[in-house]
């Protein structure tokens, strides 16, 4: 029998082949058993999350004041980073009873008092070593900075109606500032601040106005932020600071605005206005541009007209009055020139002429206009003229190109008219020739 | 005397008298559809305009993504009468495609492809294909934004064809994307491959027309038809048409110069409402309207395959409808032709208004 040959593997006895099959089958069973065991192991390991009796109990409570924190915590960034209630409030999340969970011997702190909140959050957020474990790039000076803010200073005096960490960041449902749903996401900041600062009743006790948010909403910055969705556009914290929120002093206004409008701030610092403003204690930029309601600047703000801001200080005949009039005059001249050149180039383009190059070169003139509008912060007509003059030259070049293109169009049309006359004449000649040939052919055919 | 001697000398070597005798012998039937005979000659004339203006443009055109746009800009702004040459080249190309379509449909409806003119039709169908390739390749050469994205869309459509689509797309583009490599090879096709092919095909086509003479509509076969001599009567009439065509081209170039647009930028978003040249529009519009899935198959693929099928059918027309006596088949072909014409016109207009 064992000598019987295996059909599928010639040369291997049948009995030996059966042994091999058994070994293979046993190995296969073992492999399947191991896989099942591995799956079961992973299954039992997967839900091995920390127990939290706080969430278990609080989420079932009927009093929404007590159940809300447990529900809100679902979306909290701290939960996402593996933290739980006891990491802030202390206590024992493994305890099965309320008493056990809230045992002071197990470090239960309960709800912090308003005065203690900055320190409460600062326990972790001011600890550089601890914060590195979660986010190495996160600053750890928020608490210290907070106490330099008006909010912090007032809190230290015992005033409890001021903003603390949770007033802006919310509590239990704290999201990353990069999260669009966060109360401190750029487009939500102004609204968050306005919760207190837009309330006239709330602010009355502090003697500060409550129209900032209304004014801000009409500003050029708000338009950029809300309408253009430009998240780099400034909102409250960009000028006032966030944790160290405080109104910029007279001396620091230019520095605040200058973080974005650097060139204007630089020019202002060396302008004759600097000393005059300092002397009169004027807030630099805001004197002309206002603070919260910063409208889109227009050329009308410059000069000696009714809407010019210059005339609030300057009177006819003084040096500033003359400089303002001169700067406005040169800028108006450049605007008129650019408009004239653009109009003629557009007209030529609509007529089908190729004017893309002169149109591109007109950028030199429009750039000069933008530059001139910045240079007015130097309050020097001579400085403004340094860019207006080349701008006017570039614009004049564009105008000449437009004129040339229209002249070329006119030449083409005249040329076409002459050509068409010649073409029609030629076609008529050929037609007459055809008729003459056919007449002769008919005559000869009739003759034949 | 000297001229006579020269003529004799040339005749001895080139058999000019044979050619002249052949031309003298050729006659053109005169009937109420004779007007359609002029469109073949008009297409040929416009092709010659393309050759001449194309050569002139070649003197300044530089085929690379860095220089193409600037060189065309230079031609139309700096070169004396460069604007005229460029505009005539663009307008003439479009008019040539239009006259080619008219010529093809007139031949179709007048049944000029019946025996023994099957090969004439076939060479003409190939010429139509070559002319469309001329248009597609030439459109990209100014390297402007519209052309860039139209080429991108056009080659993408070609890439959808099963099996051969992807390799064909890579071959056309010279890579995965429309780049300077695409421009270089489109230039190669436009100024070398296609002109050589077109010249050979035109030679065959014209030779076959000479060989078989002008056809008459089936209704007139076997009936006495008035005729006119090709030389000089018909040729001079052709000449009037060509002279007037020059006038039309000059007027179009002067009053509506062909726009250059903005330089192509591969990183810029595609302009809104991008459309191909008008002669591709009916196909483009169809592909836009076709549902994503038709009976479980990809709608776009089906559409492209259908157009390929119709194009293939076009080549076989003389071999399917070959019996002038088969009135039923003639009627079916007439209906199909009219439907195709209506479809092209409606879809093109629809493409423009949407």
Q: What share of chain B is helix, strand, coil (3-state, %, to 5)?
A: 70, 5, 25
Contact B214, B28 (CB under 8 A): yes
Q: How far apart are CA A224 and CA B293, in angstroms?
A: 43
Position A38 scores a pLDDT of 57
Kindly state the helix (H) or strand (E) to which residue A40 belongs, with its residue range. helix A14-45
For chain A, positions 313-352, list CB contacts with chain B under 8 A: 352
The lowest-confidence range among A8-17, B74-83, B98-107 is: A8-17
The answer, for A361 touching chain B at a CB cutoff of 8 Å, is no
Structure tokens at A321: 């009055």
The answer, for B83 touching chain A at a CB cutoff of 8 Å, is yes
| Residue whose pair of structure tokens reads 């995965």 in the numeric block | B176
The 3-class SS string of A130-195 reads HHHHHCCCCCCCHHHHHCCCHHHHHHHCCCCCCCCHHHHHCCCCCCCCCCCCCCCCHHHHHHHHHH
Q: How many beta-carbon pairs below 8 A join chains A and B?
A: 59
Q: How far apart are CA A177 and CA A183, in angstroms?
A: 8
Question: What 3-state DSSP class applies to A198?
Answer: coil
Asked whether the ipTM of the predicted complex exceeds the cut of 0.90, the reply is no
Best to test chain A binding among B239, B254, B257 (most A CBs inside 10 Å): B254
Contact A250, A287 (CB under 8 A): no
| Residue whose pair of structure tokens reads 């025996």 in the numeric block | B115
Q: Where are the domains of chain B?
A: 22-275
Partner-chain contact B255 A419, CB within 8 Å: no
In the structure, how many helices (H) and strands (E) does chain B have?
14, 4
Cα B52 to Cα B48, B139, B195, B254, distances in angstroms: 6, 18, 12, 19
Q: How far apart are CA B246 and CA B252, in angstroms?
A: 10
Q: Given CA atoms A378, A382, A386, A389 in this order, what sign does their dihedral have? A: positive
Identify all chain B residues contacting A405, using CB atoms and an 8 Å cutoff.
none
Partner-chain contact B247 A424, CB within 8 Å: yes
Partner-chain contact A352 B77, CB within 8 Å: no
| Residue whose pair of structure tokens reads 């557009």 in the numeric block | A346
Task: Please tell me which of the candidates B83, B244, B251 has its beta carbon nearest to residue A416.
Answer: B251
The answer, for B248 touching chain A at a CB cutoff of 8 Å, is no
Contact A173, A69 (CB under 8 A): no
Closest CA to A120 of A92, A94, A98, A142: A142
Q: How far apart are CA B303 and CA B309, in angstroms?
A: 10
Partner-chain contact A430 B76, CB within 8 Å: no
Task: Convert the pLDDT of each residue in B263-303 to its tens digit.
Answer: 999 888 888 778 889 999 999 999 999 998 888 888 999 99
At the topology level, CATH places domain B22-275 in Cytochrome Bc1 Complex; Chain C (1.20.810)
Torsion of CA A208, A213, A214, A217, to 10 degrees: 150
Question: What 3-state DSSP class applies to B227?
Answer: strand
In order along its 448 residues, chain A shows pLDDT tens digits of 344 444 444 444 444 455 555 655 666 666 766 666 555 554 444 444 456 788 888 888 889 888 888 888 988 999 998 888 888 898 888 888 888 888 888 888 888 899 999 999 999 999 999 999 888 888 999 999 999 999 999 999 999 999 999 999 998 899 999 999 999 999 999 999 999 999 999 998 888 899 999 999 999 999 999 999 999 999 999 989 889 888 877 667 778 899 999 999 999 999 999 999 989 888 889 899 988 999 999 999 999 999 999 999 999 989 999 999 999 999 999 999 999 999 999 999 988 899 999 999 999 999 999 999 999 999 999 999 999 999 999 999 999 999 999 999 999 999 999 999 999 999 999 999 999 999 999 999 888 7
Structure tokens at A292: 């919260």
Task: Please tell me which of the candidates A416, A430, A437 has its beta carbon nearest to residue B254.
Answer: A416
The answer, for A353 touching chain B at a CB cutoff of 8 Å, is yes
Position B38 scores a pLDDT of 96
Task: Please tell me which of the candidates B243, B247, B260 has its beta carbon nearest to residue A354.
Answer: B260
Give me the half-sphere count of Cα atoms (radius 13 Å) on the Cβ side of residue A365.
26
Kindly state the helix (H) or strand (E) to which residue B21 belongs, with its residue range. helix B16-25
Residues 6+ apart with CB under 8 A from A177: A184, A185
Q: How far apart are CA B16 and CA B200, in angstroms?
A: 22
Q: Given CA atoms A259, A261, A263, A265 in this order, what sign does their dihedral have? A: negative
Closest CA to B86 of B254, B283, B274: B254
The answer, for B237 touching chain A at a CB cutoff of 8 Å, is yes
Task: Please tell me which of the candidates B240, B260, B262 has its beta carbon nearest to residue A430.
Answer: B240
Measured from the Cβ of residue A48, the count of other Cβ atoms closer than 10 Å reads: 6
Contact B265, B62 (CB under 8 A): no
Rounded mean pLDDT of B100-121?
95
Q: How far apart are CA A173 and CA B349, in angstroms?
A: 58
Given pLDDT bands bounded at 50, 70 and 90, which one contains residue B320?
A: very high
Measured from the Cβ of residue B78, the count of other Cβ atoms closer than 10 Å reads: 11
Cα A189 to Cα A197, A211, B269, B344, distances in angstroms: 12, 16, 33, 58
Residue of A nearest to B263 (CA): A356
The answer, for A429 touching chain B at a CB cutoff of 8 Å, is no
Phi-psi region of A265 (alpha: psi -120 to 50; beta: other; left: phi over 0): alpha
For chain B, positions 255-274, list CB contacts with chain A under 8 A: 255-257, 259-260, 262
Q: How far apart are CA A203 and CA A197, in angstroms?
A: 6
Task: Please tell me which of the candidates B232, B243, B260 has its beta carbon nearest to residue A437.
Answer: B232
Identify all chain B residues contacting A357, using CB atoms and an 8 Å cutoff.
73, 77
Cis peptide before B232 (omega within 30 of 0): yes
The answer, for B85 touching chain A at a CB cutoff of 8 Å, is no
For the stretch A262-271, contacts whose Cβ atoms lie closer than 8 Å and that sit 24 or more positions apart, written own/partner, are A263/A374, A263/A377, A264/A374, A264/A377, A265/A377, A267/A374, A267/A375, A267/A377, A267/A378, A267/A383, A268/A377, A268/A378, A270/A378, A271/A377, A271/A378, A271/A379, A271/A380
Partner-chain contact B257 A434, CB within 8 Å: no
Measured from the Cβ of residue B215, the count of other Cβ atoms closer than 10 Å reads: 20
Task: Convert the pLDDT of each residue in B305-318 to its tens digit.
Answer: 999 999 999 999 99
DSSP letter at B154 equals H
Q: Where are the alpha helices (DSSP H) in A46-164?
A: 53-58, 64-72, 77-80, 85-89, 98-101, 117-125, 128-134, 142-146, 150-156
Phi-psi region of B299 (alpha: psi -120 to 50; beta: other; left: phi over 0): alpha
Closest CA to B144 of B195, B191, B76, B201: B76
Residues 6+ apart with CB under 8 A from B66: B180
Position A27 scores a pLDDT of 67
Burial A331-355 (b: 16+ CB within 10 A, else e): beebbebbeebbebbeebbebbbbb
Task: Please tell me which of the candidates A356, A419, A427 has its beta carbon nearest to residue B260.
Answer: A356
The answer, for B78 touching chain A at a CB cutoff of 8 Å, is no
Structure tokens at A381: 């007509």
Structure tokens at B158: 């070609």
Residue of B nearest to A429 (CA): B240
Residue of B nearest to A436 (CA): B233
């Amino acid at each position: 029998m064992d000598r019987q040959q295996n059909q599928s593997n010639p040369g291997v006895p049948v009995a030996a082949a059966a042994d091999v099959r058994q070994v293979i089958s046993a190995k296969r069973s073992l492999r399947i058993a191991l896989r099942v065991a591995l799956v079961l192991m992973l299954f039992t390991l997967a839900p091995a999350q920390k127990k939290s009796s706080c969430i278990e109990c609080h989420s079932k409570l009927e009093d929404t004041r007590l159940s809300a924190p447990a529900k809100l915590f679902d979306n909290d960034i701290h939960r996402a980073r593996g933290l739980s209630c006891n990491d802030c409030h202390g206590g024992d999340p493994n305890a099965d009873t309320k008493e056990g969970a809230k045992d002071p011997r197990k470090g239960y702190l309960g709800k912090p008092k308003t005065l203690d909140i900055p320190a409460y959050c600062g326990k972790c957020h001011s600890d550089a070593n601890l914060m590195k474990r979660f986010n190495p790039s996160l600053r750890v000076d928020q608490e210290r900075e907070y106490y330099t803010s008006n909010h912090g200073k007032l809190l230290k005096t015992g005033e409890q109606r001021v903003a603390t960490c949770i007033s802006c960041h919310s509590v239990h449902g704290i999201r990353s500032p990069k999260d669009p749903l966060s109360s401190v996401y750029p487009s939500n900041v102004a609204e968050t601040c306005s919760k207190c600062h837009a309330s006239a009743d709330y602010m009355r006790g502090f003697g500060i106005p409550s129209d900032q948010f209304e004014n801000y909403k009409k500003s050029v910055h708000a338009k950029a932020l809300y309408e253009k969705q430009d998240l780099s556009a400034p909102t409250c914290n960009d000028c006032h600071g966030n944790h160290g929120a405080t109104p910029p002093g007279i001396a620091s206004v230019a520095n605040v605005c200058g973080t974005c409008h650097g060139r204007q701030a630089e020019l202002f610092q060396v302008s004759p206005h600097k000393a005059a403003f300092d002397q009169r204690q004027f807030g630099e930029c805001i004197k002309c541009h206002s603070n919260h309601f910063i409208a889109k600047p227009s050329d009308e703000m410059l000069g000696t007209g009714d809407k010019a801001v210059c005339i609030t200080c300057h009177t006819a005949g003084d040096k500033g009055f003359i400089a303002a009039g001169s700067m406005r005059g040169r800028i108006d001249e450049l605007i008129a020139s650019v408009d004239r050149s653009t109009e003629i180039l557009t007209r030529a383009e609509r007529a089908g002429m190729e004017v893309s190059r002169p149109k591109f070169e007109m950028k030199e003139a429009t750039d000069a206009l933008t530059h001139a509008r910045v240079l007015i912060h130097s309050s020097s007509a001579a400085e403004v003229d340094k860019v207006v003059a080349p701008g006017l030259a570039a614009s004049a070049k564009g105008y000449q190109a437009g004129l040339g293109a229209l002249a070329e169009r006119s030449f083409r049309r005249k040329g076409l008219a002459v050509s068409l006359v010649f073409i029609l004449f030629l076609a008529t000649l050929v037609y007459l020739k055809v008729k003459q040939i056919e007449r002769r052919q008919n005559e000869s055919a009739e003759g034949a | 005397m000297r001229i006579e001697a020269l003529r004799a000398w040339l005749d001895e070597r080139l058999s000019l008298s044979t050619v002249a005798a052949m031309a003298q012998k050729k006659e053109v039937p005169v009937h109420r559809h004779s007007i359609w005979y002029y469109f073949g000659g008009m297409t040929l004339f416009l092709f010659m305009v393309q050759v001449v203006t194309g050569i002139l443009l070649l003197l300044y055109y530089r085929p690379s993504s860095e220089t193409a746009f600037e060189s065309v800009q230079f031609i139309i702004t700096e070169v004396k009468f460069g604007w005229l040459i460029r505009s005539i080249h663009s307008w003439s190309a479009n008019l040539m495609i239009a006259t080619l379509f008219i010529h093809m449909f007139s031949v179709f409806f007048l049944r000029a492809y019946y025996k023994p003119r099957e090969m004439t039709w076939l060479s003409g169908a190939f010429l139509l294909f070559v002319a469309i390739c001329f248009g597609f390749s030439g459109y990209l050469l100014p390297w402007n934004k519209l052309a860039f994205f139209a080429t991108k869309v056009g080659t993408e459509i070609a890439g959808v064809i099963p099996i051969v689509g992807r390799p064909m797309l890579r071959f056309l583009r010279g890579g995965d994307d429309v780049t300077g490599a695409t421009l270089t090879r489109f230039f190669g096709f436009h100024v070398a491959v296609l002109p050589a092919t077109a010249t050979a095909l035109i030679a065959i086509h014209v030779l076959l027309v000479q060989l078989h003479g002008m056809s008459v509509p089936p209704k007139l076969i076997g009936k006495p038809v008035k005729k006119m001599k090709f030389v000089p009567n018909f040729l001079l009439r052709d000449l009037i048409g060509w002279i007037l065509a020059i006038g039309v081209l000059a007027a179009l170039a002067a009053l509506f110069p062909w726009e250059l647009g903005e330089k192509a930028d591969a990183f810029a978003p595609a302009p809104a409402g991008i459309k191909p040249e008008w002669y591709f529009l009916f196909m483009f519009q169809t592909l836009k309207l076709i549902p994503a899935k038709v009976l479980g198959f990809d709608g776009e693929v089906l559409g492209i395959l259908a157009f390929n099928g119709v194009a293939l059918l076009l080549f076989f027309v003389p071999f399917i409808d070959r019996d002038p006596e088969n009135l039923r088949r003639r009627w079916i072909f007439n209906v199909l032709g009219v439907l195709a014409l209506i479809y092209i016109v409606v879809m093109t207009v629809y493409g423009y208004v949407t």
